[in-house]
Amino acid sequence: MSRAPRQINSGPKKIFQPGEVILEVRDLTMVFGDRRVLDNIRFQVRAGETFVIMGGSGCGKTTLLRCLIGAQKPTSGSIHLFGEDITRMDPIEMDRIRLRFGMNFQFGALFQSMTVGENIALPLQEHSEVDPSLIEMIVKMKLELVGLTGFETFMPSALSGGMRKRVGLARAMALDPEILFSDEPTSGLDPVMTAVVDQLTLDSTRKIGATAVVVSHDMTSVFRIATRILMIGNGPRQGQVVAEGTPEEIRKNPDPFLQQFVKGEADGPIPLRMAQDDYLKHLLGDG
């Protein structure tokens, strides 16, 4: 594979000290058709944090993450990443920002026509002047981190769902990003692998000083890694911030919605099934 030249001048960049605001979201609203999927979301993430976004299925976590990485323009609101508003950026400026973060997609998003090794090597080949033999070594290191030593030559289609997710994580970390965005990195993994991936997230924040923004609804994992948690609601509170705080604050928060989610109970304010009368009306079709 030929190596493309460095095309993006990363320029002088500000190094964020632990505790400085590295990501700030203000009044973010996202509307699809007439559905308000995200409603006035606002929060700050400081460098070195492991910031966990949680919420029920369909509450808009992936949509939020897609806005944060500039894959989608929000309907309104602003997103300041590394101190710059990415909602007003043109594609070239955006590329400069993109080199500084990594994204682990919910479903891996691996390149199906490339081997596992090539998937992880691609960002290195495209964006660094590193020697091919060194790239090979980095690929091995990243694979070792996610417990997939020896799978370099496998095609993504020959991997299990959980293995694909881990390759996605390895690829996201290939360039040692300052911020790691991770969409449900542990869903579909066994308890041991979950712990390994959690440890990996913790290592990147505690040891390397990076920042992690993780979407998760696995409560054990959330409380294991989070330094701060943002809970997004669904149902009548679709896309709104239900609560934000440290794990301790979230545990103590009396909000019944939040408590139901944290404890994983079927009964509570989170509307899942209809009340019997409503159900009958709905089936019979009279309003």
Partner 1 sequence: MKFIVNALRRVEGDSYVTLNARIYSFLLWGLTNPKVLSPAHTLRQMIRIGVEALPMASLVALSVGFILAMQASTELGKLGANSFIPDLVSLSLLRELGPLLIAIIVVGRSGSAVAAELGTMKVNEEIEALKVMAISPVRFLVIPRYLALMIMLPILTVFGNCVGLAGGWAVCVGTLDMTSSFYITHAVQRPEVWDLYSGLIKSAVFAHLIITIACYQGLGVTGGAEGVGRATTASVVYSILWIIIADAALTGLFFFAL
Selected binder of partner 1 within 13, 18, 71, 203 (CB under 8 A):
71
What gap in Å lies between CA 134 and CA 140, rounded to an integer?
10
Mask of contacts with Mg ion, 103-132, x by CB under 5 A? Answer: ---x--------------------------
The minimum distance between CB 89 and partner 1, in angstroms, equals: 10
Least distance from partner 1 to the Cβ atom of residue 119, Å: 9
Of the candidates 88, 58, 204, 141, the residue with the CA atom closest to the CA atom of residue 214: 204
Residue from 95, 118, 152, 255 touching partner 1 (CB under 8 A): that is 95
Residues 6+ apart with CB under 8 A from 26: 42, 77, 78, 79, 80
Does position 122 interact with partner 1 (CB under 8 A)? The reply is: yes
Q: By CB under 8 A, is residue 109 in contact with partner 1?
A: yes
Number of residues that bind partner 1 (CB under 8 A): 29
- CB nearer to partner 1: pick between 68 and 229: 68
Question: Measured from the CB of residue 31, what is the shortest distance to ligand ATP in angstroms?
Answer: 9
- Which is nearer to ligand ATP, 22 or 37 (by Cβ)? 37
Among 43, 111, 154, 223, indicate the residue that binds partner 1 (CB under 8 A): 111
Position 271 contacts ligand ATP (CB under 6 A): no
Q: Which of 29, 44, 62, 187 binds Mg ion (CB under 5 A)?
A: 62
Q: Which does 91 bind (CB under 5 to 8 A by kind): Mg ion, partner 1, ligand ATP, none?
A: partner 1
Write the binding mask 86 to 115 for ligand ATP: x where contact by CB under 6 A, - elsewhere. --------------------x---------
Pick what 285 binds: partner 1, Mg ion, ligand ATP, none; C-beta below 5 to 8 Å, kind-dependent.
none
Give the whole-angstrom CA distance, residue 211 versus residue 209.
7
User: What is the Cα gyration radius of the chain?
Assistant: 20
User: H/E/C letters for each residue in the chain?
Assistant: CCCCCCCCCCCCCCCCCCCCEEEEEEEEEEEECCEEEEEEEEEEEECCCEEEEEECCCCCHHHHHHHHCCCCCCCEEEEEECCEEHHHCCHHHHHHHHCCEEEECCCCCCCCCCCHHHHHHHHHHHHCCCCHHHHHHHHHHHHHHCCCCCCCCCCHHHCCHHHHHHHHHHHHCCCCCCEEEEECCCCCCCHHHHHHHHHHHHHHHHCCCCEEEEECCCHHHHHHHCCEEEEECCHHHCCCEEEEECHHHHHHCCCHHHHHHHHCCCCCCCCCCCCHHHHHHHHHCCC
Binding track, positions 55-84, relative to ligand ATP; x by CB under 6 A: x-xxxxxxx---------------------
| Binding at 133: pick from ligand ATP, partner 1, Mg ion, none (beta carbon under 5-8 Å per type) | none
Q: Which residues bind partner 1 (CB under 8 A)?
A: 1-5, 7-8, 69-71, 90-92, 94-96, 98-99, 103, 105, 107, 109-112, 122-123, 126-127
Q: Which residues bind ligand ATP (CB under 6 A)?
A: 32, 37, 55, 57-63, 106
